[in-house]
């Protein structure tokens, strides 16, 4: 495991092979309703996702905690009654070395990007660094969610396009869900999103995948 080597190259890694939350319409290959590729290849067994909050994102800890809880207990319309059947995903705040979902924050030179999620494999390149992978073609071992402070800090705390909704949306990418234009899901692109948190379609897809 060369995760610490990977950490040193994150600031200069490219924007290839990632999911982005933007204020504009974007197009991606959709595997929202259940594709083949998942975090650590897990479809059964240990479904606890370990996450770590870097010091740069510590001020967003409440949004992250609320985000993982929202995925653990999705509500029918993102609010109100809890969805059933319950899903089989759990979350645990852990050390950086053991995490599968890292949160960091920095100023990114992309005017419309609220946050980005990158996917990595522990398979090493020629320099011994962890390899960034395409989640449409490969399972992945861990992800790094980066908040773009230039945009993120100007959002409202709650609402359909907010700090909280964006955080839940990025966690959905880590779980394997792509952008879509389905208004009733938190994975909808911001200009389609009508719910502030994971809702029934998100829970149904989570149960289908895991």
What is the tens place of the pLDDT at every residue in 53-73? 999 999 999 999 999 999 999
What is the three-class DSSP state of 148? strand
Q: What is the pTM of this model?
A: 0.85
What average pLDDT score do residues 35-47 get? Answer: 67
Going by C-alpha positions, the residue among 66, 60, 38 that lies closest to residue 178 is 38
pLDDT in tens, 87-121: 888 999 999 999 999 999 999 987 788 999 999 99
Query: CA dist 132 to 107, 120, 128, 195, Å?
Result: 21, 4, 12, 31
**Helix count and strand count (H, E) for the chain:** 5, 7
For the chain, list the domains and their CATH numbers: 3-209 (3.40.390.10)
Which tokens go with 87?
């899903």
| Residue 8, pLDDT score | 37
Query: CA dist 177 to 13, 106, 190, 198, Å?
Result: 22, 24, 15, 12
């Amino acid at each position: 495991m060369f995760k610490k080597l990977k950490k040193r190259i994150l600031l200069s890694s490219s924007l290839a092979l990632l999911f982005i939350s933007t204020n504009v319409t974007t197009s991606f290959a959709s595997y929202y309703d259940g594709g083949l590729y998942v975090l650590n290849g897990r479809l059964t067994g240990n479904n606890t996702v370990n996450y770590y909050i870097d010091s740069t994102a510590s001020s967003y800890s409440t949004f992250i905690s609320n985000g993982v809880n929202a995925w653990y207990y999705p509500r029918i319309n993102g609010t109100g009654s809890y969805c059933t059947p319950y899903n089989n995903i759990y979350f645990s705040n852990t050390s950086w070395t053991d995490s599968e979902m890292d949160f960091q924050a920095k100023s990114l030179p992309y005017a419309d990007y609220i946050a980005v999620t990158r996917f990595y494999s522990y398979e090493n390149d020629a320099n011994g660094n962890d390899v960034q992978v395409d989640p449409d073609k490969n399972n992945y071992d861990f992800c790094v969610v980066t908040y773009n402070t230039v945009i993120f800090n100007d959002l409202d705390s709650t609402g359909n396009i907010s700090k909280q909704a964006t955080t839940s949306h990025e966690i959905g990418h880590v779980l394997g869900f792509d952008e879509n234009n389905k208004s009733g899901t938190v994975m909808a692109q911001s200009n389609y999103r009508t719910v502030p948190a994971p809702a029934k379609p998100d829970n149904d897809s989570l149960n289908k995948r895991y």
